[in-house]
C-alpha cells in the first residue's frame, strides 16, 4: 500500500470545519446564480479568484458574502449533506460541524427551521453517506453581545438533536470588549451540558489561548498555533493534553503563517502537544481533509505511524460515545499495522 492509498483508506474524523466554509464551488456557483443580487461571482474562474484572501478580515468579508447566499432552510441542509458526501469519499466517518446561528438569524431564518434542517441533514448524512454529523454552535466574535445572546438562545431553546458543543470564532482581536459577555454565555452553555470548543490563538497571541482556557473552560481549542510563543503555556498544554485542532492550509490562506513550510505543526508535535488535523473551510482554501494528511506527509515528513496517531487523536478528542471511539481506533490501528 502506498502512503497516498493509506491516507485515503485511513478512517478520519473532522473536528474543525465550518458549515458555510464547507460549501463546494459548484454549490456556491449554483446559489450565486440563483441570487444574482449577491456579491459572489457567478463563474468558477472569478469565484476561485474571490477566494484569494489578503488577510483574515478580508476572509471574514468573503465568508459573509457566501453566507448571504444561504436564504432557505433547504440551503442549510444541502450544505450539511454536501460535506457528508465529500467526507465519505475521503474515509471520513464523523464530523463536528461548526454552525453559526447568528449568520442565519441575520438572513431571516427562524431558529426552529434551521434546527429542523440540521436534524434532517444529520439523519440523511448517516443514511446516504455513512458519515455521522454532530454540531457545534459558535459565536462570531466581531458581533459581540447580540451574537452571543442569539447563539446561546438558539443552543438552549431550539437545539438540534446532534448539538454537542459551544464555540466562538471570527476575528479574535475584537473579543476584548465583550469578554464578560462571552464568559457568561459559555458558562450557561456548559451548565446545559454542552462542551466548550472555542477558537483561540489563531490570529492573536498566547493571551487569547489563556483566556479560552481560564475564562471559557475550553475542552478543546480551535487552532492554538500561537501557543509556542509562551513556554509556560506549552508546558501546560503538554501536561494537560488539551487538544488543539490544527488547520495548516487555513493558516496559510488567511495569512497567519507566511508559507506552509513555516507552519508550527512539526514543532507542536515535537513539544508533545495533543494535535488533531483538520480542514476548516476546505473549498475556500482549495483543500480537503485528506489533502491535509497528504500535506503533513509531503511537507513535514510524517510517516504512517505519525498520520495514524493524528487520526487517532481526532477520534480521542471527539465527543463520540466511548464504544464508537474504540471501534474507530481499532480500525485505525489495524490499517496502520497492515
Per-residue pLDDT, 210:
98
Order of strands, edge to edge, in the sheet holding 163-169?
A: 12-18, 92-99, 132-140, 163-169, 195-196
- The matching CATH number, chosen from 3.90.340.10, 3.20.20.140, 2.120.10.70, 3.40.50.300, for 3-337 is 3.20.20.140
Express each pLDDT in 64-88 by its tens digit. 899 888 989 999 998 999 999 999 9
Per-residue pLDDT, 225:
98
DSSP state of 72: S
Q: What element of type H or E holds 122?
A: helix 111-129
What are the backbone dihedrals phi and psi of residue 329, each rounded to the nearest 5 degrees, phi first?
-65, -35
Per-residue pLDDT, 54:
87
Q: Looking at residues 259-278, what average pLDDT do you find?
A: 98
Place of cell 464504544: 323
DSSP secondary structure, 6-52, as one string: HHHHS-EEEEEEETGGG--HHHHHHHHHH-TTSSS-SSHHHHHHHT-
Question: Would residue 96 show up in a list of annotated catalytic residues for this protein?
Answer: no
What are the backbone dihedrals phi and psi of residue 140, each rounded to the nearest 5 degrees, phi first?
-80, 115
Which one of 202, 211, 291, 331 is the catalytic residue?
202
User: 123 near 85, Cβ under 8 Å?
Assistant: no
Q: Using 50, 70 and 90 to split pLDDT, how confident is the model at 228?
A: very high
* Burial (0-12, 13-18, 19+ Cβ within 10 Å), 36: exposed
β-partners of residue 132 are: 94
Helix axes 111-129, 73-88, angle to 10 degrees: 30
Q: Using 50, 70 and 90 to split pLDDT, how confident is the model at 38?
A: confident
Amino acid at each position: 500500500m502506498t502512503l497516498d492509498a493509506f491516507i485515503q483508506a485511513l478512517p478520519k474524523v473532522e473536528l474543525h470545519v465550518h458549515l458555510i466554509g464547507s460549501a463546494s464551488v459548484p454549490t456556491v456557483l449554483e446559489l450565486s446564480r440563483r441570487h444574482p443580487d449577491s456579491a459572489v461571482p457567478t463563474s468558477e474562474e472569478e469565484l476561485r479568484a474571490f477566494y484569494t484572501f489578503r488577510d483574515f478580515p478580508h476572509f471574514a468579508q468573503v465568508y459573509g458574502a457566501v453566507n448571504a447566499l444561504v436564504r432557505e432552510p433547504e440551503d442549510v441542509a444541502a450544505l450539511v449533506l454536501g460535506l457528508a458526501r465529500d467526507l465519505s469519499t475521503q474515509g471520513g466517518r464523523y464530523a463536528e460541524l461548526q454552525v453559526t446561528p447568528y449568520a442565519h438569524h441575520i438572513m431571516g431564518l427562524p431558529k426552529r427551521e434551521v434546527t429542523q434542517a440540521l436534524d434532517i441533514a444529520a439523519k440523511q448524512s448517516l443514511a446516504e453517506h455513512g458519515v455521522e454529523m454532530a454540531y457545534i454552535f459558535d459565536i462570531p466574535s466581531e458581533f459581540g453581545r447580540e451574537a452571543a445572546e442569539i447563539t446561546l438562545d438558539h443552543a438552549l431553546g431550539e437545539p438540534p438533536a446532534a448539538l454537542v458543543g459551544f464555540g466562538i470564532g471570527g476575528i479574535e482581536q475584537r473579543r476584548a470588549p465583550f469578554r464578560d459577555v462571552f464568559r457568561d454565555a459559555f458558562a450557561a452553555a456548559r451548565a446545559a451540558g454542552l462542551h466548550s470548543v472555542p477558537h483561540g490563538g489563531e490570529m492573536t497571541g498566547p493571551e487569547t489561548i489563556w483566556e479560552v482556557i481560564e475564562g471559557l473552560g475550553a475542552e478543546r481549542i480551535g487552532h492554538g498555533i500561537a501557543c509556542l510563543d509562551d513556554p509556560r503555556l506549552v508546558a501546560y498544554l503538554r501536561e494537560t493534553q488539551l487538544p488543539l485542532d490544527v488547520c495548516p492550509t487555513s493558516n496559510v490562506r488567511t495569512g497567519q503563517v507566511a508559507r506552509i513550510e513555516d507552519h508550527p505543526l512539526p514543532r507542536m508535535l515535537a513539544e508533545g502537544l495533543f494535535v488533531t488535523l483538520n480542514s476548516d473551510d476546505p473549498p475556500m482554501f482549495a483543500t480537503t481533509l485528506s489533502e491535509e494528511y497528504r500535506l503533513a506527509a509531503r511537507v513535514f515528513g510524517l510517516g504512517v505511524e505519525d498520520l495514524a496517531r493524528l487520526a487517532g487523536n481526532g477520534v480521542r478528542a471527539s465527543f463520540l460515545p466511548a464504544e464508537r471511539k474504540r471501534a474507530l481506533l481499532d480500525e485505525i490501528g489495524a490499517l496502520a499495522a497492515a
